[in-house]
Chains A and B, each alone.
Chain A
Amino acid sequence: MKLHDIAHARAGDKGNTSTLSLIPYKPQDYALLCREITAERVKAHLAGIVVGKVTRFECPNLPALTFTCEGALLGGVTVSPGLDPHGKSLSFALLEMRVESD
């Protein structure tokens, strides 16, 4: 299945870094996300988008994960020649990831 089936996401931008949240619809799927959706796998999935480092942060209180993707915005909103300079649509690029259910 796709991540879109079990989680929702929101994209934000800070300079040339895209911030992506990943929030399971059901809190019990948080463990699955923690296990399967590593920074390395996100970096590989977004290889055509993210030039720099991907870092994952865990928020078990919500629960949710966040990813900072450096060098993801073609220079950032102010100078990007891309169609989506903010990377607002990139949350749905993350949700295209495949994940195996428990």
Chain B
Amino acid sequence: MKRSMRIGCGAGFQGDRFEPAVVLASQGGLDWLMLECLAERTIALATLQRVRDPEAGYDPLLDRRLRTLLPELKKNGVRLITNMGAANPLAAGRRVAALARELGLDMQVAVVSGDEVSRHLHPGIAVMETGAPVTEVPAIVSANAYLGAESLLPAIQTGADIIIGGRIADPSLAVAPIMHHFGWRLDDWDLLARATVIGHLLECAGQVTGGYFADPGKKDVPGLAHLGFPFAAVDADGSAFISKVPGSGGLVTLATVKEQLLYEVTDPAAYITPDVVADFTGVRLTDLGGDRVHVTGGRGLPRTPTYKASIGYRAGWLGEGEISYAGANARARAELAAAVLRERLEDELPQVRYDLIGINAAHRSDFGANIEPYEVRVRVAGLCVTRAEAERIGWELESLGTNGPAGGGGFRRSATERIGVVSALLPRNLVHTDVTVFGAHIDADSPTMAET
């Protein structure tokens, strides 16, 4: 039986901290490091960048994130797997190969492409949210299928040091290396489900080591300013323990692992990925102490016959404005400001919402607290068809400075284009993925290619 393997997660979103990945690569005793940097909307924005520049459209932080990381990966023999290719994995691969050369590192890069599926959309495919034909979605800018381990394994099998793709299901970034290490098959459903549990626990990085968790006096977390990111030490039966590098901030306890296990999960008995339908209700957690939690159990059902695709479209312009009131009668002045704005905007822009930050903005309710805060911030926002309408919202807010209640200050306004995202299910046979290898000893202009 093969020895256990260790995989860490060095980023849980595009803008995540840089240094925890370096700590993991240098001190984590890892075999693999995953970097999850792609949210639903990110790939649509990246697609728009690629339209403007054919060599753009990959993660804008790629250089900064990898420059300090690559030497540590090479030195410690850690392989990297990431979705930082975003809307242009091939350009990302070329860039990383060039970066490795620049750093004097002999490292090969394998790129997984083929998640771009916009050419396969047809009226027979329905939008999951509405049931309408996907071809009726206005102003589509991107369509990407969530690829799974099956598409990643051929890239891993090239032996490349770095695997880069675009839209990949987050847990699959862990499932594929674990499968490869232990030689599991694509229909080892229970094992794939356990690897999916591990990938799911890791994919948000600091969210399993004490991030998005602290509640002072109830759930205290030491060292949040230097939160350590997680790794899993995985055994051949798919069980693992989750931990972090000793001396780093944060904590790994039953509570942090439970919160992350259920994070963004709809039905815990049927967590659907491209690899498997995983049942989390049989997962057993044991606190081993010392920031180690053992994870075992979890069952799998066969994968679905479809890939989920995210479809990005131009959804309009979001106009926002904010202004603050403080001191005596702050709430009444803020409410008056909101009422004035409503009177001026509601005929033409009835969709605009009026929030009082400090009272009812985040929860759209104060659950009867009815407090009189020392300061209140008025927020006005609406999704508009045109940029001019969106800008109007901020201008009306700003005009309160000289035309509104007493003591209004701290104006902010913005108008930004929004990319909406809807989902659809695509038959698997529509999606074909490729692997392209770039490396220090291979001419980047004549890559080797293998169809998977």
A60 to chain B, nearest CB (A): 8
B418 to A64, Cβ gap below 8 A?
Answer: no
Q: How far is the CB of A65 from chain B (nearest CB, A)?
A: 9
- A99 interface residue, CB < 8 Å from B? no
**Is B258 in contact with A89, judged by CB distance below 8 angstroms?**
no
Q: Are B363 and A90 within 8 A (Cβ)? A: yes
Main secondary structure of the interface of B (DSSP, over half): mixed
> In the complex the two chains form, is B353's CB within 8 Å of A82's CB?
yes
Answer whether residue B452 sits at the interface, using C-beta atoms and an 8 A cutoff: no
Q: Cα distance A97–B311 when bound, in Å?
A: 37
Flag if A64 contacts B258 (CB, 8 Å): yes
Q: Does B365 contact A (CB under 8 A)?
A: yes
> In the assembly, what is the distance between CA of A93 and CA of B364, in Å?
10
Q: Are B353 and A78 in touch, CB under 8 angstroms?
A: no
CB proximity to A under 8 Å, residues B177-214: 212-213
B283 pairs with A61, CB closer than 8 A: yes
Partner of B264, one of A14, A62, A76: A14
Task: Identify which of B147-155, B266-274, B427-435 touches chain A.
Answer: B266-274
Selected from B255, B283, B352, the residue in CB contact (under 8 A) with A23 is B255
A89, B215: Cα distance in complex, Å: 12
A66: contacting residue among B268, B352, B379, CB under 8 A: B268
- Contacting B at CB under 8 A, from A71-85, are 75-79, 81-84
Cβ-based interface call for B229 (8 A): no
Q: How far is the CA of A10 from the CA of B352 in the complex (A)?
A: 29
A75 to B351, CA, bound (A): 12
Q: A59-B268, A77-B41 are in contact. Are A48 and B365 (CB under 8 A)?
A: yes
Q: Is the CB of A48 within 8 A of B364?
A: yes
Q: Do B353 and A81 have beta carbons less than 8 Å apart? A: yes
Contacts of B215 in A (CB 8 A): 8
B424 at interface, CB cutoff 8 A: no
Q: In the bound complex, do residue A19 and residue B421 qualify as a contact, i.e. CB atoms below 8 Å apart?
A: no
B420 and A79: CB pair below 8 A?
Answer: yes
Q: Which residue, B263, B284, B320, B363, has most C-beta atoms of chain A within 10 A?
A: B363
CB-nearest residue of chain B to A7: B218
B259 proximal to A (CB < 8 A) = yes
Those of A19-78 within 8 Å (CB) of chain B: 19, 21, 23, 25, 48-49, 57, 59-62, 64, 66, 68, 75-78
Q: In the complex, which residue of chain A has the Cβ closest to the Cβ of B365?
A: A48
The complex places the Cα of A14 from the Cα of B264 at a distance, in Å, of 6
- Of A89, A92, A96, most B-chain CB atoms within 10 Å: A96
Q: Which of B4-12, B238-246, B327-335, B354-362 contacts A (4 or more CB under 8 A)?
A: B354-362
Contact B264 A78 (CB under 8 A): no
Judge whether A10 and B212 touch: CB under 8 Å: yes
Asked if B280 is at the interface (CB within 8 A of a chain A CB), the reply is yes
Leading 7 A-B pairs by shortest Cβ distance? A12-B264, A21-B262, A48-B365, A10-B259, A81-B381, A83-B361, A89-B362
* Known contacts A10-B213, A78-B419, A81-B381; 18 further A-B pairs (Cβ under 8 A): A8-B215, A9-B259, A10-B212, A10-B262, A21-B262, A23-B262, A57-B269, A62-B258, A66-B265, A77-B40, A77-B41, A81-B318, A81-B382, A82-B353, A83-B357, A88-B212, A93-B365, A93-B367
